[in-house]
Structure 1
Amino acid sequence: MRRYILTGAPGCGKTTILHALAERGYSVVEEAAADVVAQQRALGVEAPEEDAGFVDAVIRLQHERQQQLPIDSGGVQLFDRSPICTLAFARYSGLPMTRALRTEVNRVVQSGIYQPLVFFVARWGPAGPTPPRRISEADAKRSEEIHRTAYESCGYELVDIPPGDPDHRTDLIDDVLADEDVRFSEEAWS
């Protein structure tokens, strides 16, 4: 099973691209943090992402989703974020590095759970805050830089997906995945 990550700053277009990839037949996994925020807000918590337990709740859900996917889902899975993104979020927010976060980051990096190529979706420009995304343009830029650093420091190679039409961006990822299919097939026959 080859698991690939889509990452980038909030509002960069990852989720739109992920949905387009799903329409092309790829197995995709939605962002865990957005679901944790939505669940907590439904319970009346105004800013769950500021709570000390938020990071651990996201890590648990990411781990569950990664473990629950069927292995026969076409050989490729695409994840909207990963535990490395949760690490970047903790750094961005000044939240502590919890034991659960440290353990999960170490597990995914040391075990090679995700492919070394990570799709880094660039920001379009000013997205503006929305109810689920409360972040300014300056903060989005800072978040993007922290995400880039977190992935590079964990040994991942970033494939930059530049701003542009969502179909074009999806085509770029689809092309890289096709090249990866060829590379994996050649390795299997050697």
Structure 2
Amino acid sequence: MLDEDAYLPGNPALVASRQAVVLTGCSGGGKSTLLGALADRGYAVCPEAGRQIVREQMHLGGDALPWTDATQFVALAASRTMHLFNTTAPSERAIFFDRSLVDLTSFLEMKGLDVPAHLRRAVETYRYAPSVFVTPPWRKIYVDEAERSKSFEDACREYDALVDGYLAAGYELVEVPKASVAERADFVIANLPA
């Protein structure tokens, strides 16, 4: 039987470790490919909650999609993001998170929608390593797909909103250079927080 009392919101052990490293960036900037390369090198990677929600909603014919009901989508994605954070145990190496709660608040702000007070509190409570890696817009590798139906220009606006959101939340941004996947992985590993 699972020990429900072991589930600690905010995961104080992980926050204290500074090992929870966020990789964020605009859609189509190579983030998922880079995370795959880091996983291939033995690093733990937590998936993007938003992408999971989109797949589930599309499978069920639901409307909690970012382009249909942004508020409901964010509510589901925020809950999943917190669950992933809360169930991740610290380790001796960095643990990479594909996006964070800041991505969700930035998305709402970009859409001109109100950010619920509880979501703002969650951003303050669920703290990741102080340096966040960000993949910038890169037209050469940008591909539109079903789970991310947006133009390159929209992806650039998304990137600007993410930069503003992370800076406002008190994080330092480390831009991942436009280079080969191996070189990008080398860069991230070389610049992990001490």
Q: TM-score, normalised by structure 2?
A: 0.84
Aligned to 1:20: 37
Distance 1:36 1:95 in 2: 19
Aligned to 1:88: 106
Mark the CA change 1:142 to 1:163 in structure 2 (over 3 Å): closer, same or farther. Answer: same
Aligned to 2:136: 122
Aligned-partner SS, 2:114? coil
Residue type of the alignment partner of 1:67: N
Aligned to 1:55: 74
CA contact (8 A) 2:64 2:73 kept: no
Aligned to 2:155: 140
Aligned to 2:117: 99
Distance 2:26 2:82 in 1: 21
Question: % of aligned pairs identical?
Answer: 32
Residue type of the alignment partner of 1:164: A
Mark the CA change 1:66 to 1:47 in structure 2 (over 3 Å): closer, same or farther. Answer: closer
Aligned-partner SS, 2:89? coil
Q: 1:161 offset after TM fit, Å? A: 0.6
Q: 1:46 offset after TM fit, Å? A: 5.8
Is 1:131 aligned with 2:173?
Answer: no
Mark the CA change 1:36 to 1:100 in structure 2 (over 3 Å): closer, same or farther. Answer: farther
Residue type of the alignment partner of 1:174: I
| Count of residue pairs brought into register by the alignment | 174
Q: 1:90 offset after TM fit, Å? A: 1.1
**Equivalence map 1:6-17=2 (5 Å):** 6-17=23-34
Distance 2:64 2:153 in 1: 20
Q: 1:86 offset after TM fit, Å? A: 0.8
CA contact (8 A) 1:128 1:135 kept: no
* Deviating 4+ runs (over 6 angstroms): none
Aligned-partner SS, 1:119? strand
CA RMSD of aligned residues (A): 1.6
Aligned-partner SS, 2:185? helix
Residue type of the alignment partner of 1:123: P
Residue type of the alignment partner of 2:139: G
Aligned-partner SS, 2:139? coil
Q: 1:96 offset after TM fit, Å? A: 2.5
CA contact (8 A) 1:7 1:118 kept: yes
Residue type of the alignment partner of 2:144: P
Consecutive unaligned residues of structure 2, counting only runs of 5 or more, are 1-16
